[in-house]
A and B are shown apart, each in its own frame.
Chain A
Amino acid sequence: MNCAGSKQGAFYVLEVTGRMDALTSQGFETECLGRLEAGDTRIVADLGGLEYISSAGLRSILSAAKKLKAAGGDLAFCGLSGIVAEVFTVSGFAKLLPVFATRDEALNRS
């Protein structure tokens, strides 16, 4: 799994690629907490390049989202497709967390 990020307006956009499983998912949480420490509380994770996500990956996302929320920010998602989108739907994460079809939607929400 790889995370590449850039500041876009009020949001910090993280492009996540590869596989997010038990071995790698901690990296996502660490990355988000790193942004949180740097002062970015609103993060948009673009999962367009993510091939696979396991339950451990979901746990990592959940943990990061909770911490960002506690700090007054949020963690949104966009670009979900294929198996990742399916996992989000089945697990109900799509209901728990803000999910947008495109990055623009995520950045231009009110």
Chain B
Amino acid sequence: MSGPANASPGGPACAWTPSPIRTGRGIAFRLSALVLSAVAVIFVAMSGATYFLAREALLKNAEQSARTQAQALVQRIEARLAPISRVAQGLGYDLEDGLLDDAGILRRQRQTLLDNPEIFGTAAAFEPFGRHPDQEHFAPYTFRAPLGITHTNLGGAAYRYHAMDWYQIPRELKQIVWSEPYFDEGGGNTLMATCSVPFYQGQGDTRRVAGVTTADVSLEWLTRLVASVQVLDTGYAWLITKNGTYVTHPAQGLAFNETIFSRAEENHDPELRRIGQDMIRGGSRLVPLKSLHTGKPGFLVYAPLPSTGWSLGVFSPRDELFADVNRLALVSAGLGGGGFLLLAGLVAVIARGITRPLRRLCGAAREVAGGHLDAALPEVKSRDEVHDLARAFANMQASLKEHIRDLTAATATRERIQSELRIASEIQLGILPKTFPPLPGRTEFDLYASLTPAREVGGDFYDFFPCGHDCFCFLVGDVSGKGVPAAFYMAVARTLIKAVAESVAGAGRRRGADASGSEQRRIPDPGRILARANEGLSHDNDSCMFVTVFCAVLDYATGEVHYASAGHNPPVLLRAGAAPEYLPTHGDPVAGAMPGVVFSTDTLQLHPGDALALYTDGVTEAMNPALELYGEERLVKRLAALTDQDARATCEALSKDVHAFADGAEQSDDITLLVLRYNGAGPEGAETAGTAPDNG
């Protein structure tokens, strides 16, 4: 239904064609997507920040805790190692004081072992010949043997202890020295280390080293202790001596076999070497490191054991350190993701809730657009823009309905009018005579007329009728304007002219009979006919309509034609064997315009074969698509080729030619043609002509 769209004030813009498939995304989707994207960005940013901050904090915490752990371990070890050096020192002090004889030394040593279960053995080694002038090596040694505490003297030709490290180094350095750990196969079959402390004799300048006391200590507990240190899951602790020798290490075969430097060399790890150097210098630091043992990255905390000069390392793997952070991140991601999904659902529900009335409205709009003007509109309860839209839409629907109602009514009215016009046109054509030839049996003349109506009702007409004795009146007229008024006026004009003509013919006959008897026949005067018709038509003609008429009367007995024109186009005279010519007229005015007009009558003699072609301006003013007029010249030319045709053929050929010329352009006026061809009075006609006055 294109009517409402075309008729709406908005024009084509309002001709909305419903498209059931929307290619883009809906508002709900876009709203949700927008909100959720924003939330996702914020969430990721927050999670990221939290993760990194927590990582930082945790790292600091872990470092602190690693330091603390290392420190605690150092203290635990120190707590056991420090007394040992004091034990050796205590023995030394006693010897310096000279309070002990040889037996006293043994007693003292025995007591020491009894008091300190971790000490495996203790020695008091004197300078050569220092204790006994006859005895170069004197070093009473008390130790734990499988069967109990046993005494022995270490020195002798087989064991010249003065050259040994455990004696030589503390003696030279004049300080407490811990030996490298060693495996004591003879004694306890355990891992041992010896703490050596020098003791002196003499005062001031004469003070010199008198010997070295030692305490052997089993390191089993130490390795156990260090090995038992739990650093996260795979972290570990290890211990090196002053020389860098591993005392304990979780890696198999490292302890006592390798130093930190040899391991660094082996693995081409300069970083480890630097760490080792710092460690044996007594440094204490935290350094990032990749473990050679486990291959994991992490960091190492190392700290010295002050009493021995050894160094403790504690390695913490990074991933385990961050396990908490990662767990935290995982949990927060899980919570965030869950929250996000929840939010997504919520946003979707809200967005759909907002757009639901819009979608329903859209559906209703589609229905309305599809022609269902009574489609129910969804009720929008909210007082928002959608509500306004729904109201505006309802208004639109109402005015659309009204508009279409009006339009339907207007269309019906127009159709009624058109139908009435059509009827008027049919009546108009219906009252025209259509009997050809007009006087059956008469061969003196041949007449044919045609009227092709324009789309709009026009005012053309033609007429012909017998008019007095042997006379035949024929005429063509054209009423000004178009439509029903023109049709009415045409009907009136035609009827009036015919009535006037018949009346004039009757009067002429009577007058002729009265005045001059039968010796002269009178042809009804067309000028008079038009003048009388003009009086009738112009009377009370407020609308100022008028009609152009060419009216002629033929005396078919003689071929004499009397004619008059009321403002009509001059007809064409077709003389047999000569060029067509327009009949000169006097330029008398149209009929109906004003009363009191006089119309001149002219006379013309037709010879057999001559013809007259009457037409209306619908012929000469027929237009082709290029807006050219058919014109008088073309008419004459065309008629020149038709001089030997009968009336009907001439008429039809001319009509066809005008149509061909118009070439589809709309016909704006009626096209009327009337052709009369005079054949001459035959014997019958002559007889009739001769007898007519008698009959009258």
Chain A residues with CB under 8 Å of chain B are 22, 55-56, 58-59, 62-63, 66, 89-96
A95 and B587 contact, CB distance less than 8 A: yes
B567 and A59 contact, CB distance less than 8 A: no
Q: Interface segment, B382-390, B475-483, B674-682? A: B475-483
Q: Given the complex of chains A and B, what is the CA–CA distance between A92 and B598 in angstroms? A: 11
B544 and A92 contact, CB distance less than 8 A: no
| Chain A residues whose C-beta falls within 8 Å of the C-beta of B570 in the assembled complex | 90
A63 and B587 contact, CB distance less than 8 A: no
A90 and B568 contact, CB distance less than 8 A: yes
Q: Given the complex of chains A and B, what is the CA–CA distance between A92 and B568 in angstroms? A: 8
B480 and A56 contact, CB distance less than 8 A: yes
| Chain B residues whose C-beta falls within 8 Å of the C-beta of A55 in the assembled complex | 478-481, 546, 548, 617
Q: What would be 23 A-B contacts, judged by CB atoms less than 8 Å apart?
A: A55-B478, A55-B479, A55-B481, A55-B617, A56-B481, A56-B482, A59-B481, A59-B544, A59-B545, A62-B544, A63-B544, A89-B587, A90-B548, A90-B567, A91-B567, A91-B590, A92-B567, A92-B590, A92-B593, A95-B588, A95-B589, A95-B597, A96-B594
Question: Which among B545, B589, B593 has the greatest number of chain A C-beta atoms within 10 A?
Answer: B593
| Chain A residues whose C-beta falls within 8 Å of the C-beta of B569 in the assembled complex | 90
Where chain A touches its partner, the secondary structure class is helix
Q: Does B566 contact A (CB under 8 A)?
A: yes
A91 and B544 contact, CB distance less than 8 A: no
Chain B residues with CB under 8 Å of chain A are 478-482, 543-546, 548, 566-570, 585, 587-590, 593-594, 597, 617
A22 and B481 contact, CB distance less than 8 A: yes
Q: Given the complex of chains A and B, what is the CA–CA distance between A91 and B588 in angstroms? A: 7
Nearest A-chain residue to B548, judged by Cβ: A91
User: Between A and B, how many residue pairs show CB distances below 8 Å?
Assistant: 62
A93 and B567 contact, CB distance less than 8 A: yes
Q: Given the complex of chains A and B, what is the CA–CA distance between A45 and B600 in angstroms? A: 28
Nearest A-chain residue to B569, judged by Cβ: A90
A38 to chain B, nearest CB (A): 21
| Chain B residues whose C-beta falls within 8 Å of the C-beta of A22 in the assembled complex | 481-482
| Chain A residues whose C-beta falls within 8 Å of the C-beta of B548 in the assembled complex | 55, 90-91
| Chain B residues whose C-beta falls within 8 Å of the C-beta of A58 in the assembled complex | 480, 546, 590
A44 to chain B, nearest CB (A): 20
Q: Given the complex of chains A and B, what is the CA–CA distance between A58 and B567 in angstroms? A: 11
Given the known A-B contacts A66-B544, A90-B567, A90-B569, are A59 and B587 also in contact in the complex, defined by CB atoms under 8 Å? no
Q: Given the complex of chains A and B, what is the CA–CA distance between A56 and B483 in angstroms? A: 11
Q: Given the complex of chains A and B, what is the CA–CA distance between A90 and B569 in angstroms? A: 6
- Apart from A55-B546, A90-B587, A91-B590, what 16 extra A-B contacts exist at CB < 8 Å? A22-B482, A59-B481, A59-B544, A59-B545, A62-B544, A62-B593, A63-B544, A92-B587, A92-B588, A92-B590, A93-B593, A94-B587, A95-B587, A95-B589, A96-B589, A96-B597
Nearest B-chain residue to A25, judged by Cβ: B481
B481 and A92 contact, CB distance less than 8 A: no
Question: Which among B478, B585, B587 has the greatest number of chain A C-beta atoms within 10 A?
Answer: B587
Q: Given the complex of chains A and B, what is the CA–CA distance between A38 and B590 in angstroms? A: 30
| Chain B residues whose C-beta falls within 8 Å of the C-beta of A59 in the assembled complex | 480-481, 543-546
| Chain A residues whose C-beta falls within 8 Å of the C-beta of B478 in the assembled complex | 55
Q: Given the complex of chains A and B, what is the CA–CA distance between A4 and B587 in angstroms? A: 30
Q: Given the complex of chains A and B, what is the CA–CA distance between A62 and B591 in angstroms? A: 12
| Chain B residues whose C-beta falls within 8 Å of the C-beta of A94 in the assembled complex | 587
Q: Given the complex of chains A and B, what is the CA–CA distance between A63 and B546 in angstroms? A: 10
B453 to chain A, nearest CB (A): 16
Q: Given the complex of chains A and B, what is the CA–CA distance between A91 and B587 in angstroms? A: 7
Q: Given the complex of chains A and B, what is the CA–CA distance between A92 and B594 in angstroms? A: 11
* Those 3 A-B pairs whose CB atoms lie nearest each other, nearest first: A92-B589, A91-B567, A63-B544
Q: Given the complex of chains A and B, what is the CA–CA distance between A40 and B126 in angstroms? A: 163
Nearest A-chain residue to B629, judged by Cβ: A83
Question: Which among A58, A89, A94 has the greatest number of chain B C-beta atoms within 10 A?
Answer: A58
Nearest A-chain residue to B483, judged by Cβ: A22
| Chain B residues whose C-beta falls within 8 Å of the C-beta of A92 in the assembled complex | 566-567, 587-590, 593, 597
| Chain B residues whose C-beta falls within 8 Å of the C-beta of A96 in the assembled complex | 589-590, 593-594, 597
B490 to chain A, nearest CB (A): 12
Nearest A-chain residue to B479, judged by Cβ: A55
A62 to chain B, nearest CB (A): 5
Q: Given the complex of chains A and B, what is the CA–CA distance between A90 and B585 in angstroms? A: 8
| Chain A residues whose C-beta falls within 8 Å of the C-beta of B543 in the assembled complex | 59, 63
